[in-house]
Structure 1
Amino acid sequence: MSSSLIVETSSLLSESYTFDSRPYHPLASTVKRYWSPSMPQDGLTLVFLHGGSFHKEHWEPVIDDLLVLLTQSQNGSKANIKIREMWAIDAPTSGDSALLNEEALRWGYESFPWQEYGRSIHAFLTGRGRTHAGFNLQDPVVPNIDFSSHILVGIGHSIGAVSLVLSLDYFPSIEGLFSSGILVEPMIMNEKAARSAAAVFTANSVARRDIWPSREEAYKMLKARHTWKIWDDRTLRIYVNHGLRPLPTLEYPDIKDGLTLKCTRKLETASYRDLNGCHVAYRNMRSYVSRIRLHIVYSTVNDGIPAEAKQDIIHNATGGLQNLASVEYIEGAAHLSPQTHPRAVAEKIFKHCRWTRRCAGLKLSSDIAKMHQLFSVENIQ
C-alpha cells in the first residue's frame, strides 16, 4: 500500500496513519505501524491498545524490549516466534486522535463510553472508513489495510484491554481475525469494585496538573513526583514528547504559552465516569473467553484493581480458570505495569506469542484442556 512518511523507531521502521471512520463512527483514530523488511509475512500481527489518558506510543518501550527477546530467541534454543508487524491504535480522546476530534468532543461526552474505543478498533480492523497517510485528515487517502490474511494478537492495557473485548461485540464480527488476546490489568470488575475505582481515578484526574512552561520543565516536574518517578525513563520521555501539545487550545483559548495535555483532564475524567463499558465487559466475560483465547496479566500490587476483584474475574466472571488460556502476575508491578515494568510486560507477551503459534491448530473449546497441558510450566521454559 502507499504509505506515509517512514520513520526509524529503534530497530524498527514506523508509519503513521489517520483512519477516518465517518459516517460509520463519528470519531477519527490515529494509528502507527511498526515493522522491519525482514519480518515474515506468515508471522503474527500484534495490535496494541493503551490505557486511559495515555497514547499509542506508550507501547514503544515494550515493543523495543520485545524485539530484544525475539532476537535472543532466534539465536538460542527457544522456539522461534514470527512477527509480521505491529500496530498501535489511539483512543479517540488520546494522543493525536484527540487533536483530530477536539471539536467533536467538546460536548456530549461528559461521560465517555469505553465502547467508543472499541468501535474505533473495530472500524479500523474491518476497513469501515478511509485511511490517510499521516496524522491529518487532509493528507492523501491510501488503500485500507486488509487484515483478513493476518493472524492478530490483541494486546490491551487497562481501559484498552476492556475496549479490546468490547470490539468483539460489533458487526461484522472480528473475532475470527484474532488468534488470542492479552489483557494487561484489564479494568473489568464487579459493580462494587468498579464504583470504588472510578471514584479514585476521577478524583486523581480532576486534580492533575495539566499546564507546563516547556517540555523540559514538564519532564523535570513529573520526574520529581512519585507517580512518574517510578516509570521507566523511556516511557516518561515518550509521555512528554507525545502526550503534550502547545497552547492555546479549545480548552484553554486564552493561554498563549506553554504546553498542555492532548488528552485533556475533562476527557480523562469523562472516561473514568463511564461504568457501562466495565459493566458490559464484566457481564460478557463468559462469552468472550468462549470466542477467543484470552490471557490475563495482572500485577501483584493491587492499587488499581482490588485483589478480590481479580479473583472474581478469574473464578466467577469467566466461568472458571479453566476457561482462560492463562493467568499470570508481574511481581512488584502495580496497575501501570507497561509504564513501570515494560521489560516484564514484554516477557509475558513473548511467552503468549509462543503459545499462540503452538496453539494455531487447536480449537478453542474442545482443545483448551490440551492447550493447558501443552503449556504447563515444564513445557514453556
Structure 2
Amino acid sequence: MDALTYESYVFDPRPRYPLLTTAKRYWHPQLFSDDPDALTLVFTHGTGFHKEQWEPTFEHLCELLERSGHPNIKLREIWSIDCPNHGDAAILNEEELSWGYSEVFGWEEYGRSVHAFLAGLGTGIPVDFNTRNLVGVGHSMGGVALTLANTFTPTINFKYIVLVEPMTYHKPPPGQLPAFKLDLAAGALKRRDTWPSRQAALESLESRPSFKIWDPRVLRVFVEQGLRDLPTALHPDEKEGVTLKCAKTQEAASYRDNLGRTRAYKFLGVLCSSLPVHFIYGEIDDYIPRDAKNRVLKEAARGKYASLTRVPKAGHLIVQMQPCGLANAIAAVLEKEAARASRQSKL
C-alpha cells in the first residue's frame, strides 16, 4: 500500500486562549474521498504521547480498507491533534506553559483546544469543520478531552465518538482508595529523559521491560517524533543530545489533574444520550480495574453506550501495544455506524 500523505499545521487561538496547538492532516489519494458524505476522523492522544503515536494504527486502518474494500466506509481525511503541552505544541508553548501550568495541567485544556480547533476559533487551519462529518477517537486523556470538548459552545457536531480506554472512573466511597492507584506523576519525574542521540534513546527504551510490550513501529515513532534536540528550558545546560518534547514536568503536571476526568465521568451520560458513543478497552485490565471500567459503562454512561469492544493482548496502552488490533476495532465501529446510517436512509 502507498504511504499516507500528511500536512502539518499550527492552530493559533490567541488572544482568547493562550496556548497554540499542532496537528497533522492525513489522507490517501486512492482510498480517501472528497464525497461530502465521507467521514473526517479526529484523533486525540494519551498523556506522555503525541499525535504521531496513532500513525501505525492509521496505516493498518488504511490497509484494512484497501484489502477488504469496506464499501460502506468512506473516509475523507484523518486529523490528529497534539495536547498543548505535548508533542510539537509543547515546543511552541514552552514559555507560556511556565505561567501557571507547571504544577497541574488540566485535561480540560486539551478539551478546550480541541473544541477551539474544530469550531474554527482561531487561525491556521484551512478547513471549516462545520461542513464535515466528524468522528472523534480519543485514547486515555484524549478520550477525556474529546468528551469535555462537547461541554463548550458552540457545539461541535460529531456524528459519533469512540473512546479508547478513557482515563475516567468513579469517585470512591469515603475511606476507600480510588480505582486508580498508580502514582504516574512520581514515575514520570523519576524517568530518564535525556539521551546522547535518538539511536541511543531507541536502544535504551528497547531494553526496558515497560517498552518491550510496545509494537516496534510505535516505539520508533515515539523516538522519531516525540524527542527534540537539547538544550531546552528544563535542560538549559545540556548542549548536545535529545530529550522529550513533552517535558517530564509537564507530563507529571498532566497526571496530577483530577478535575478533568471527574467532569468527563459526570458528563458521559449526557454525551451518550445525545450521540452514539463507542467504547474500546484492552482485555488486560492493568491500569484501570475491570470493575471501574464496568462502572463507567453502567453508571457514567448510564448503559446508553453504542457498543463495547475489548482488544485482545492489549492493556491501557492499547495504541502502543496493539495498533493493528485497535485499527480492527475502529474499522468495526465505522462499519457498524455506516450500516446503521444506511438502514436509516431507507426508512
Q: Shared fold by TM > 0.5? A: yes
2:143 counterpart residue number: 161
1:369 counterpart residue number: none
2:76 counterpart residue number: 84
Residue of structure 1 aligned with 2:332, choices 309, 333, 351? 351
The 8 Å contact of residues 98 and 263 in structure 1, kept in 2 or not, is answered as yes
2:120 counterpart residue number: 127
Deviation at residue 23 of structure 1 after TM alignment: 1.4
Deviation at residue 300 of structure 1 after TM alignment: 1.4
2:252 counterpart residue number: 269
Letter matched to residue 60 of structure 2: D
Looking at structure 2, the residues matched to 251 and 10 of structure 1 have their Cα atoms a distance apart, in angstroms, of 39
SS at match of 1:130: coil
2:33 corresponds to 1:51: no
Looking at structure 2, the residues matched to 207 and 218 of structure 1 have their Cα atoms a distance apart, in angstroms, of 16
Aligned Cα root-mean-square deviation (Å): 1.7
5+ residue gaps, structure 1:
1-8, 132-142, 364-381
Compute the TM-score of the two structures, normalised by the length of structure 2: 0.93
The 8 Å contact of residues 272 and 305 in structure 2, kept in 1 or not, is answered as yes
Correspondences of 1:167-182 after superposition (within 5 Å) = 167-174=149-156, 176=157, 178-182=158-162
Deviation at residue 249 of structure 1 after TM alignment: 0.6
Correspondences of 1:201-212 after superposition (within 5 Å) = 201-212=184-195
2:89 corresponds to 1:105: no
The 8 Å contact of residues 179 and 356 in structure 1, kept in 2 or not, is answered as no
CA deviation vs aligned residue, 1:232-274 (integer Å, no higher than 9, x gap):
1111011001111111111111111111111011000000100
Looking at structure 1, the residues matched to 60 and 182 of structure 2 have their Cα atoms a distance apart, in angstroms, of 34
CA deviation vs aligned residue, 1:198-247 (integer Å, no higher than 9, x gap):
64212221211101111111000100111111111111011001111111
SS at match of 2:205: helix
Deviation at residue 196 of structure 1 after TM alignment: 5.5
Looking at structure 1, the residues matched to 179 and 22 of structure 2 have their Cα atoms a distance apart, in angstroms, of 32
SS at match of 1:354: helix
2:195 corresponds to 1:221: no
Q: Count residues in correspondence.
A: 337
2:226 corresponds to 1:246: no
Letter matched to residue 359 of structure 1: R
Correspondences of 1:4-15 after superposition (within 5 Å) = 11-15=3-7
Compute the TM-score of the two structures, normalised by the length of structure 1: 0.85
The 8 Å contact of residues 48 and 156 in structure 1, kept in 2 or not, is answered as yes
Identity %: 45
2:140 corresponds to 1:149: no
5+ residue gaps, structure 2:
none
2:64 corresponds to 1:69: yes
Looking at structure 2, the residues matched to 20 and 292 of structure 1 have their Cα atoms a distance apart, in angstroms, of 29
CA deviation vs aligned residue, 1:177-216 (integer Å, no higher than 9, x gap):
x111111100010123995536421222121110111111
SS at match of 2:150: helix
Letter matched to residue 147 of structure 1: F
Letter matched to residue 342 of structure 1: P
Looking at structure 2, the residues matched to 52 and 181 of structure 1 have their Cα atoms a distance apart, in angstroms, of 19
2:86 counterpart residue number: 94
Range that drifts further, 31-40 or 235-244: 31-40
Letter matched to residue 227 of structure 2: L
Deviation at residue 107 of structure 1 after TM alignment: 3.2
